[in-house]
Amino acid sequence: MGHEIESLPRRLGVWARSIDTEVLRGTSPDQVQALVTGMQSLTYRMQELLEARATPQAELFILELLQDIRTWRLRVQEAFQRLSKDPASGDTQRARALLDEIVEHLEVRVEETLNKATEEQLSAEDREHFYRLLGAFRGLSETLVKFADSTAAIDWVRWREARF
């Protein structure tokens, strides 16, 4: 599945050049290219998150922040599900506000955890690993909102019409 996610933006980019703007009025090749670029950015950000998650995390972070991370993950999952059902439905300002709020809350919780942790509980490497993970959360959140903006620019009604 990872290969499919990585190769999809390239394949869509090739197809985007063949769009018949007479048939799909209201959607320009530039809009489709922005969608493809957004999809590629999402691919990179997801890969970045997977790599950050693969680094060992301190048990203290896991115990203290598990619920906050789960909340973020569920909100991102909901956003992807909404986009998959209706790409034009996104209220991107609301989505951005919600994801920003969750990430900012997570950042505060990280600071609280760091401030109360002893050197034995968290090494400098543990802190670095977690900041990398936190950056990946923020990066994916921001990229998802930008992608939702680009999906809103497409005339999806015409794209869904059956053509023979």
In this structure, which amino acid lies at residue 42?
Answer: L
Average pLDDT over all residues of the chain: 81
**Rounded-to-integer distance, Cα 57 and Cα 74, Å:** 20
Percent of the chain with pLDDT over 70: 80
* Segment 9-23 mean pLDDT: 70
CA distance between the termini of the chain: 30
For the chain, the structural domain boundaries read 2-160
Look at 160 and 109; give whichever has higher pLDDT.
109
Name the band, by pLDDT with cuts 50, 70 and 90, for residue 24.
Answer: low
Name the band, by pLDDT with cuts 50, 70 and 90, for residue 23.
Answer: low
In this structure, which amino acid lies at residue 76?
Answer: V
DSSP conformation class of 55: S
Q: Which residues contact 130 (CB under 8 A, 6 or more apart)?
A: 57, 58, 61, 110
Model pLDDT, residue 164: 46
| Total count of residues recorded for the chain | 164
* Segment 66-74 mean pLDDT: 90
pLDDT tens for residues 43-66? Answer: 899 999 999 988 888 888 888 888
* Segment 103-127 mean pLDDT: 85
Q: What is the pTM of this model?
A: 0.79
